[in-house]
Amino acid sequence: MTTFLGMPGLPVATERGTLRGPDTFPVAARRALADTQLRKNLGHATSTIRAKRARVVGELDDWEELRAAGAAIKADVMARLPELLVQLEENVTARGGHVHWARDADEANRIVLDLVRAAGTPDDPVTSVVKVKSMATQEIGLNEALAEAGIAAVETDLAELIVQLSDDTPSHILVPAIHRNRAEIRQIFLDHMPDVDPGLTDEPRVLAMAARAYLRRTFLAARVAVSGANFAIAETGTLAVVESEGNGRMCLTLPQTLVTVMGIEKLLPTWRDLEVFLQLLPRSSTGERMNPYTSMWTGAPRTSDGAPDGPQEFHLVLLDNGRTATLADEAGRQALHCIRCSACLNVCPVYERTGGHAYGSVYPGPIGAVLTPQLAGMHGHGADAPAGGDPVDSLPYASSLCGACFDACPVRIDIPSMLVHLRAKHVETAQAQRRVPGLPASAENAAMSAAAWVMQDAGRFSFAERGLQLGRLLARDGRIRSLPPPLSAWTTSRDVPAPPAETFRKWWARTRGDRS
């Protein structure tokens, strides 16, 4: 019996996959902060992408109107999700595609594995698939599931390839190898890429060409591809993948079989809605007016002459894996509006310093801090909570609530409010799990009760203020860097400003006292 803090009756994601990291955020963040090379790489990359995004967003004088439309379309999708999914299914099926439904990661992996096996014959089984970068398949741990069945999944996005070759994990939604610089990437290629030119330099162009040469033969021979999807149009059954390198086109065009794994929230109702999202997404993600390639296909695609054009075996896997549990929380469901642009990561002062690995989830950064706890569920202080605390529980606290993520979000997801909501949900449930009659439920509660008692009476408050003055003895340069327990819980990760020499009440009495 688990005590996940989800909606009763709606299961969260299965443990298989990559949502719950090994350490809580403070522990993992401290480790990341000690890595000066990582901080340098992240600082360089995030400042570059912020400037690019700002420039192309500034070119559109209707950006705020596009954001408002994007938010409204996504809210409409959530309200009509069952009907729109059925409509999508009908349209994909009518055009020669097949639709599968998966309750969780295990079920989705099993469906994909069966489809990959079915694409081969006993004499000529399929032993590898090409993959275009997909958050959903990372979330469900598809590569690992395929590997257990003896099928190699080859990541073809340059950054994913870097991560895969070095047996690493992604640290950014858009640029999974953002934590690596060119010198490190060169070394990874030299160490792990078969037949690589030993004279390889660390020029990004040279490194990209090495990846091209390495993957080309694989692309041209691939029989099965696995992809994600950026958008699916209910009205037409059309799927869209937005990319840069052409690895997506290779996967979506050359193999005979294509399996697309997509979260149920990625829908758009109408063809026209693309006019909003094809403007919002590229400018927010790579900071381009338009990404180099966008592929759209419907079912088993045919040219206008009726000739086959791309994979004639097309399978769409619709994935729940905690999304319905997220949808059940009215204050949290906005997290499902996310279009995975990663703008919120690039503007986040916390992400910029810790990088993505500290979040322990395939979805890092501000959006990850609200999406992961809802998809995977929080433990609170339940009996089955891991020793040292649940890493997922720590994510809503991985923010200074500065609000930069909300401003950057192309679909206006109010991440700061959701963080506060999830903190409250976490505290409330944790209290309920360990309440002892007659005693304050927690240190927070005890502190808050004491504060309420002090503030109810002017005399008590004045007395407390005098006590606070003692704090000045602990301060250096106007800051208090460490306090004794239990107050050290606050000062391990924050400074406290020294109390002023004169309280506001004293100042008022001294300067305006005659008027009161």
Partner 1 sequence: MTTSARDEVLRRIRTALGRTGGAAPQPSPVPRDYRTSLGQEPGAPGLLDLLVDRLVDYKATVHRCAPDAVGATVAAALAARGARRLAAPSGLPAGWLAAADVETVTDGAAQDGGALPVATLDAVDGVVTGCAVAVAQTGTIVLDSSPDCGRRALTLVPDYHLIVVRADQVVGSVPEALPRLDPDRPLTWVSGPSATSDIELDRVEGVHGPRTLVVVLVEG
In the region spanning residues 60 to 79, those forming contacts with partner 1, defined by CB under 8 A, are 61-62, 65-66, 68-69, 72-73, 75-76, 78-79
Torsion of CA 94, 96, 99, 105, to 10 degrees: -160
Segment interacting with partner 1 (CB under 8 A) among 140-148, 181-189, 190-198, 453-461: 181-189
Strands 231-233 and 267-268: parallel
In angstroms, give the least distance from the CB of 43 to partner 1: 11
Nearer to partner 1, 156 or 429 (CB): 156
In angstroms, give the least distance from the CB of 125 to partner 1: 21
Number of residues that bind partner 1 (CB under 8 A): 107
- Distance between CA atoms of residues 461 and 457, nearest Å: 6
Nearer to partner 1, 153 or 327 (CB): 327
Contact 291, 73 (CB under 8 A): no
295 binds partner 1 (CB under 8 A): yes
In angstroms, give the least distance from the CB of 349 to partner 1: 18
200 binds partner 1 (CB under 8 A): no
* DSSP-assigned states of every residue in 328-360: T-TTTGGGGG-----HHHHH-HHHHHH-SGGG-
In angstroms, give the least distance from the CB of 159 to partner 1: 4
Nearer to partner 1, 143 or 295 (CB): 295
341 binds partner 1 (CB under 8 A): no
In angstroms, give the least distance from the CB of 507 to partner 1: 49
27 binds partner 1 (CB under 8 A): no
Pattern of binders to partner 1 over 420-439, x per CB under 8 A?
--------------------
Q: Report the SS3 class of residue 285.
A: helix
Residues 381 to 420 in contact with partner 1, rule: CB under 8 A: none
152 binds partner 1 (CB under 8 A): no
Answer positive or negative: Cα dihedral of 366, 172, 111, 109.
Answer: negative
* DSSP-assigned states of every residue in 169-208: ---SSS-TTTT--HHHHHHHHHHHSTT--TT--S-HHHHH
For 60, the token pair is 């559109």
Nearer to partner 1, 68 or 432 (CB): 68
Torsion of CA 166, 172, 174, 175, to 10 degrees: -40
In this chain, which of 2, 244, 312, 433 binds partner 1, going by CB under 8 A? 244
Contact 140, 375 (CB under 8 A): no
In angstroms, give the least distance from the CB of 78 to partner 1: 8
In this chain, which of 86, 443, 447, 468 binds partner 1, going by CB under 8 A? 86
95 binds partner 1 (CB under 8 A): yes
296 binds partner 1 (CB under 8 A): yes
- Which ranges of 242-379 would DSSP assign to H, the alpha helix? 247-253, 274-285, 323-327, 343-347, 349-354, 365-376
Answer positive or negative: Cα dihedral of 168, 170, 175, 179.
Answer: negative
Nearer to partner 1, 237 or 391 (CB): 237
Number of H helices, E strands in the chain: 22, 12
Residues 256 to 275 in contact with partner 1, rule: CB under 8 A: 264, 269, 271-275
Residues 274 to 293 in contact with partner 1, rule: CB under 8 A: 274-276, 278-279, 282, 286, 288-293
Q: What is the DSSP letter of 470?
A: G
Nearer to partner 1, 25 or 314 (CB): 314
Longest dimension (CA), the chain: 99
- Distance between CA atoms of residues 231 and 463, nearest Å: 61
Nearer to partner 1, 182 or 506 (CB): 182
Nearer to partner 1, 332 or 416 (CB): 332
